[in-house]
Amino acid sequence: MARAPLTPVQNWDAQLLLLAQDVRVAFFDVDGVLTDGGLLFSGEGEVLKRFNTLDGHGLKLLQKAGITPAVVTGRDSPALRLRLSNLGVTHARFGTEDKVPAAEAILGELGLQWHQAAAMGDDWPDLPVMRRSAFACAPANAHDEVLAVADWITPRSGGEGAVRQLCDLLLAARGAYAGLLAEYAS
22 is in an annotated binding site: no
DSSP string, 14-68: HHHHHHHTT--EEEE-STTTTS-S--EE-TT--EE----HHHHHHHHHHHHTT-E
122 is in an annotated binding site: yes
Q: Which of 106, 39, 113, 124 is nearest to 70 (CA)?
A: 106
Question: Torsions phi, psi of 75, nearest 5?
Answer: -110, 170
CA dist., res. 42 & res. 9, Å (int)? 41
Identify the DSSP state of 116.
G
29 is in an annotated binding site: yes
Q: Which residues are annotated as a binding site for Mg(2+)?
A: 29, 122
Annotated binding site for substrate: 31
For the annotated binding site, the residues are 29, 31, 122
